[in-house]
Structure formats: structure tokens, C-alpha cells
């Protein structure tokens, strides 16, 4: 019998045992089990790679979220320090302004008191000068 179709992919078996020697037939898939196992192994590798990729991605997301949380905490902490410092400076400035205003008020009162006393002294001096002038003019008038 003449072969009309040859399977070049399948190796030609060396020994064909049996009565007729026809153990392997044309078109028969002799490597099916091997190919099935190979595809299963490849599929397992792909699934493992996907799991590793997903685990790596999840780990990176968790690390990124942790870093973001830590950065946010540091920013909030620094903001708290700055707000406290600002409040301290505002309070110190208010106290300084209050002290300056009190000092200026005291100085103004002291100056006004001094000016009032000075005015009294000048008035007393004027009165005494006028009395002296009158006394002198009365004395001069008596002498004449």
C-alpha cells in the first residue's frame, strides 16, 4: 500500500512490533500527553508570574500608601509646630506692644504732670515777679 500522506512532525518509530507492524497510524497525535503537560506547566508558570506581579504591585501600593501617610503625618506635625511658633510670636508681639503702650502712656502722663508743674512754677514765678514789681513800685511811690 502506498502512503499518500506523511507526518513529518512525528518521529518515525524504529521498531514496529506486533503482528501487522501497524501500531502507529497516520494523523495519530502521539505527543498529546507530553504537549498537554507542557502547556499545563507553561500555564502554571504564567499564573505564578501573574501572582508575583500582582503581589509586587500590591506591595508597592502598600509601600506608597505608607510613605504618603508618613509624609502627611510629618507635614501635619510640622504645620503644628509652625502654628504653635506663630501663636507664640503673636502673643510675644502683643505683650511687647502692650508693654510699649503702657510705657508710652506712663511717659505721657509723666510729661503732662511735669508740664503742669512747670506751668504752676512759671505762674508762681510770674505772680511773685508781679508782687515784687508792685512792692517795688509801691516802695518807689512811697519814696517819692
Radius of gyration of the chain (CA): 58
Output the pTM of the full model.
0.46
Burial class (CB in 10 A: 0-12, 13-18, 19+), 128: exposed
Q: Does 2 score more than 50 pLDDT?
A: no
pLDDT tens readout for residues 23-53: 655 666 778 899 999 999 999 999 999 999 9
CB-based contacts of 30: which residues, under 8 Å, 6+ apart? Answer: 10, 24
CA–chain centroid gap for 76, Å, is: 6
pLDDT tens readout for residues 52-79: 999 999 999 999 999 999 999 999 999 9
CA–chain centroid gap for 14, Å, is: 76
Q: What is the band of 14 on the pLDDT scale with cuts at 50, 70, 90?
A: low
Mean pLDDT score of the chain:
86
Amino acid at each position: 500500500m502506498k502512503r499518500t500522506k506523511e507526518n513529518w512532525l512525528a518521529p518515525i518509530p524504529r521498531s514496529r512490533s506486533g503482528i501487522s507492524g501497524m501500531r502507529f497510524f497516520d494523523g495519530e497525535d502521539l505527543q498529546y500527553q507530553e504537549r498537554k503537560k507542557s502547556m499545563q506547566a507553561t500555564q502554571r508558570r504564567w499564573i505564578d508570574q501573574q501572582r508575583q506581579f500582582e503581589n509586587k504591585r500590591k506591595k508597592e501600593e502598600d509601600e506608597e500608601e505608607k510613605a504618603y501617610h508618613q509624609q502627611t503625618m510629618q507635614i501635619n506635625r510640622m504645620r503644628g509646630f509652625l502654628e504653635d511658633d506663630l501663636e507664640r510670636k503673636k502673643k510675644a508681639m502683643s505683650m511687647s506692644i502692650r508693654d510699649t503702650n503702657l510705657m508710652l502712656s506712663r511717659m505721657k502722663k509723666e510729661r503732662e504732670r511735669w508740664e503742669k508743674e512747670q506751668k504752676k512754677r512759671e505762674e508762681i514765678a510770674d505772680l511773685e515777679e508781679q508782687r515784687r514789681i508792685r512792692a517795688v513800685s509801691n516802695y518807689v511811690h512811697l519814696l517819692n
